[in-house]
């Protein structure tokens, strides 16, 4: 089972890239972030034509997440069950933004919870938005902690807007204590891992210089001046199933790209 996550920075601008990428990579599930569109403007038909069904939590102008799942052959009912969205989760800091969605995926003998995140950016350390980000992440950790009492197999993906370690940063001195790299952000991220989750990419790749986001400015992609802020976390119970974890830089080389690249795992399920 291939699960992917991609911050597309506007689904309407990036639709052709996403459709082409789906046809080339045919993941079982693709989690999107930063749709920047209302539910009713989401291009459901284009995905249906490729054999995919989308669950969408949109919002005007900002945020927005979707989980796009391959339809099973010969099944009239879409098997993936929507479990939770920002709107249905109580306790997330106000105002409620379209930043989280969870679906239950049936397995032959079991089931898996897949959670798609667009973590707040945080603006700058010490700002109101930074406090909101930390509060949001702490609420996320409480939610995941509870779900881990219900599900053994949990996958949490998305744009975390946190580079977990200096190894995930092209220039650690430039980014020292800046937003995305600060100690408190890394601490809440590590708290999530401490609940029993594994950073799939880092568990299989020890070296640095692998990033998932590059600024549009200053030829950052060409210089590989990036950050690894998009992640696929898997629960401990899934560790024996992890075959591969990787970042697909190819879409970032295209014209009018998202500033993020897709991140993926292959699980033997």
Partner DNA sequence: ATGGCACACCTTGTGTGA
118 catalytic per annotation? yes
3-state secondary structure 25-77: HCCCEEEEECCCCCHHHCCHHHHHHCCEEEEEECCCCCCCEEEEEECCCCCCC
- Which residue, 199 or 230, is less far from DNA as judged by CB? 230
Least distance from C-beta 101 to DNA, angstroms? 16
Residues 45, 67: Cα–Cα separation, whole Å: 15
Please choose, from the candidates 72, 3, 10, the residue with its C-alpha nearest in 3D space to the C-alpha of residue 36: 10
222 binds DNA (CB under 7 A): no
Least distance from C-beta 78 to DNA, angstroms? 27
The single residue of 116, 159, 168, 259 carrying the catalytic annotation is 159
Name residues whose C-beta falls within 8 Å of residue 244's C-beta, 6 or more positions apart in sequence: 204, 264, 265, 266
Q: Which stretch binds DNA (CB under 7 A): 78-86, 181-189, 192-200, 211-219?
A: 211-219
Considering only residues 175-194, where is the footprint of DNA by CB under 7 A? 179-180
Query: Out of 25, 72, 88, 121, which residue is the one contacting DNA (CB under 7 A)?
Result: 121
Residue entry with tokens 């992640």: 231
Tokens of 81: 């069950």
Tokens of 197: 């989750």
Query: Out of 85, 86, 98, 161, which residue is the one contacting DNA (CB under 7 A)?
Result: 161
Query: Out of 120, 164, 251, 262, which residue is the one contacting DNA (CB under 7 A)?
Result: 120
φ and ψ at residue 267, rounded to 5 degrees: -110, 135
Active site residues: 118, 159
Interaction site with DNA (CB under 7 A): 7, 9-10, 12-13, 34, 36-37, 60-62, 120-121, 123-124, 129, 159, 161, 179-180, 213, 215-218, 227, 229, 256, 259
């Amino acid at each position: 089972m291939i699960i992917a996550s991609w911050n597309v920075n506007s689904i309407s601008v990036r639709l052709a890239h996403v459709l082409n990428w789906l046809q080339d990579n045919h993941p079982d599930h693709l989690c999107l972030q930063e749709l920047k569109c209302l539910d009713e403007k989401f291009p459901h038909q284009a995905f249906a034509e490729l054999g995919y069904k989308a669950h969408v939590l949109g919002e005007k102008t900002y945020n927005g997440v979707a989980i796009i799942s391959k339809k099973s052959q010969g099944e009239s009912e879409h098997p993936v069950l929507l479990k939770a969205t920002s709107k249905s989760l109580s306790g997330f800091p106000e105002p409620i933004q379209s930043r989280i969605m969870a679906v239950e995926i049936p397995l032959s003998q079991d089931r898996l919870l897949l959670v798609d995140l667009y973590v707040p950016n945080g603006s700058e350390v010490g700002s109101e938005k930074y406090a909101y980000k930390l509060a949001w992440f702490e609420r996320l950790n409480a939610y995941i902690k509870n779900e881990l009492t219900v599900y053994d197999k949990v996958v949490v993906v998305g744009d975390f807007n946190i580079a977990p370690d200096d190894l995930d940063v092209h220039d650690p001195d430039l980014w020292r204590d800046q937003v995305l790299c600060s100690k408190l952000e890394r601490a809440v991220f590590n708290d999530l891992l401490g609940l029993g989750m594994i950073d799939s990419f880092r568990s299989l790749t020890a070296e640095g210089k692998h990033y998932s986001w590059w600024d549009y400015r200053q030829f950052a992609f060409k210089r590989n001046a990036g950050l690894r802020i998009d992640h696929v976390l898997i629960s401990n119970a899934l560790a024996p199933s992890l075959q591969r974890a990787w970042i697909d830089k190819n879409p970032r080389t295209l014209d009018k790209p998202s500033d993020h690249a897709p991140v993926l795992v292959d699980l033997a399920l």
